[in-house]
Amino acid sequence: MIKQILIILLLILIAPLSLKAQDPLSEADIREMVEKDSEQKLVVQCAVLMQEGFSYYAEIIADKLIALRPESANYNFRKGSLLLAAHNDYVNAKPYLEKAILNVDPEYDMYSAREKSSPVDAFFYLGRCYHLDESIDEAIYYYQKFIDQSPPESDLVALARLRIQQCHVAKREITNPKSARVENVGPVINNNFPDYCPVTSLDGSALYYTSRRPWEDDATSQYRDRKINQYPEDVYVSYIDFDGSWIEPFRLDFCIGIRNEATMAVSADERRIYVYQDDSLANGDIFYSDFATNRFQEIQSINDSRINTMYWEPHCMVSADGMTMYFTSDRPGGFGGRDIYRVIKLPDNSWSDPINLGPSINTPFDEDAPFIAIDNKTLYFSSNGPLSMGDFDVFVSRKDEENNWSSPINLGYPLNSTSDDIYYTTTVDGLRGFLSSNRKGGYGEKDIYEIKNDYLGLNAIAVLKGLVKTRNNKPLPEDVTITITCNDCDNSEPRVVFPRLRDGAYFSSLEPCHEYELLYTYKEQTIEIYRETVTTSCSDAYDEIYREVIIDIADDGVITRVDDKAIPVDTVVVPPVDTVVIIDTIVPPADTIIAPDPVKDPVIVPIPKDTIPVDKIQDLPELVAGDFKNPKFKHYFEYNRNKINPKRGDFKKFVRAIEEQLEKGRTNIAINVYASASHVPTKTYETNERLTALRAENIKYDLITYFQENTDYADKIVVTVVEAVVAGPEYQKDWRNRKKYRNFQYVEVLTE
- pLDDT tens-place string over residues 362-382: 999 999 999 999 999 999 999
Q: Whose CA is closest to 28, among 230, 226, 231?
A: 226
Pairing of strands 617-618, 593-594: parallel
- Distance separating alpha carbons of residues 489 and 509, to the nearest angstrom: 14
Q: How confident is the model at residue 454 (pLDDT cuts 50, 70, 90)?
A: confident
pLDDT of 82 strictly over 90? yes
CATH of the domain at 666: 3.30.1330.60
Q: Are residues 108 and 244 in the same domain?
A: no
pLDDT over 70 for what percent of the chain? Answer: 87
Q: 41 with 165, same domain?
A: yes
Mean pLDDT of the chain: 86
- 587 and 554 within one domain: no
Question: Span 511-535, mean pLDDT?
Answer: 93
Establish if 566 belongs to a structural domain. no
681, part of any domain:
yes
Residue 184 lies in a domain: no
247 lies in a domain?
A: yes
CA 451/CA 185 separation, integer angstroms: 10
Rounded-to-5 percentages of helix, strand, coil across the chain = 25, 30, 45
Q: Which of 418-432, 460-474, 607-621 has the highest mean pLDDT?
A: 418-432
| Residue 581, pLDDT above cutoff 50 | no
pLDDT at 693 over 90: no
Backbone angles phi, psi at 704, to 5 degrees: -60, -45
Phi and psi based region of residue 244 (left: phi greater than 0; alpha: psi -120 to 50; beta: remaining): left
Per-residue model confidence (pLDDT) at position 18 = 43
Same domain membership, residue 531 and residue 615: no
Residue 411 maps to a domain:
yes
Residue 24 confidence (pLDDT): 52
In a domain, residue 186? The reply is: no
pLDDT digits (tens, 9 = 90+) for 222-248: 999 989 999 999 999 999 987 889 999
Residue 599 in any domain: the answer is yes
Helix (H, G, I), strand (E, B), or coil: what is residue 50?
Answer: helix
Is residue 611 pLDDT above 70, yes or no?
Answer: no
DSSP string, 478-490: TT-EEEEEESS-S
Same domain, 643 and 521: no
Mean pLDDT of 97-117: 96
In which band, very low, low, confident or very high, does the pLDDT at 607 lie, cut at 50, 70 and 90?
very low
Q: In a 3-state reduction of DSSP, which class is residue 140?
A: helix
Lowest model confidence (mean pLDDT) among 7-11, 502-506, 721-725 = 7-11
Domain stops at, among 453, 486, 514: 453
pLDDT mean over 466-480 = 89
Domain identity same for 236 and 323: yes
State the residue range of the domain holding 354.
Answer: 195-220+231-453
C-alpha 147/C-alpha 128 separation (Å) is 13
Residues 449 and 467 in one domain: no
Residue 582 has pLDDT above 70, yes or no: no
CA distance 56 to 29: 13
Position 684 scores a pLDDT of 65
Number of domains in the chain: 4
Question: Tell me, what CATH number does 389's domain have?
Answer: 2.120.10.30
DSSP H/E element including 691: helix 688-708
Lowest mean pLDDT among 70-84, 109-123, 468-482: 468-482
Q: What is the pLDDT of residue 685?
A: 67
Residue 417 lies in a domain: yes
* 447 & 465 share domain: no
Q: Which amino acid is at 116?
A: K
Beta-bridge partner residues of 468? 549
Q: Is the pLDDT of residue 662 over 50?
A: yes
Residue % of the chain over a pLDDT of 90: 64
Domain finish residue from 497, 531, 561: 561
Higher pLDDT, 263 or 741: 263
Say whether both 527 and 507 belong to one domain. Answer: yes
pLDDT in tens, 133-149: 999 999 999 999 999 99
For residues 573 and 604, give the distance between their C-alpha atoms in angstroms, rounded to a whole number. Answer: 10
* Domain-ending residue, one of 529, 561, 593: 561
Give per-residue pLDDT as tens, 703-715. Answer: 887 887 777 777 7
Asked which of 98-112, 438-452, 475-489, 688-702 is least confident by mean pLDDT, the reply is: 688-702
| Closest-CA residue to 146 (of 159, 136, 135) | 159
In the predicted structure, residue 528 carries a pLDDT above the cut 60: yes
Residue 615: pLDDT over 80? no
98-122 burial: b if 16+ Cβ within 10 Å, else e: ebbbebbeeebebeebebebbbbbb
We report the CATH number of the domain holding residue 494 as 2.60.40.1120
Report the predicted TM-score, pTM, of the whole model to 2 decimal places. 0.74
pLDDT tier at 282, thresholds 50, 70, 90: low
> What's the pLDDT at 574?
34
Could you report the per-residue pLDDT of 640-653, keeping only the tens digit for each?
A: 778 787 777 788 88
pLDDT of res. 471: 84
pLDDT of residue 242: 77
Q: Looking at the structure, do residues 552 and 593 belong to the same domain, yes or no?
A: no
Q: What is the DSSP letter of 346?
A: -
313 or 460: which leads in pLDDT: 313
Q: Kindly tell me if the per-residue pLDDT of 603 is higher than 70.
A: no
pLDDT tops 80 at residue 618:
no
- The arithmetic mean of pLDDT across residues 387-403, rounded, is 95
For every residue of 645-664, DSSP letters joined together read -TTSHHHHHHHHHHHHHHHT
Backbone φ, ψ for residue 738 (5° rounding): -65, -30
Indicate if 603 and 623 belong to the same structural domain: yes
**152 and 213 share a domain?**
no
pLDDT band at 283 (very low <50, low <70, confident <90, very high): confident
pLDDT band, residue 736 (cuts 50/70/90): low
Residue 519 to residue 509: CA distance in whole angstroms: 16
CATH number of the domain enclosing 8: 1.25.40.10
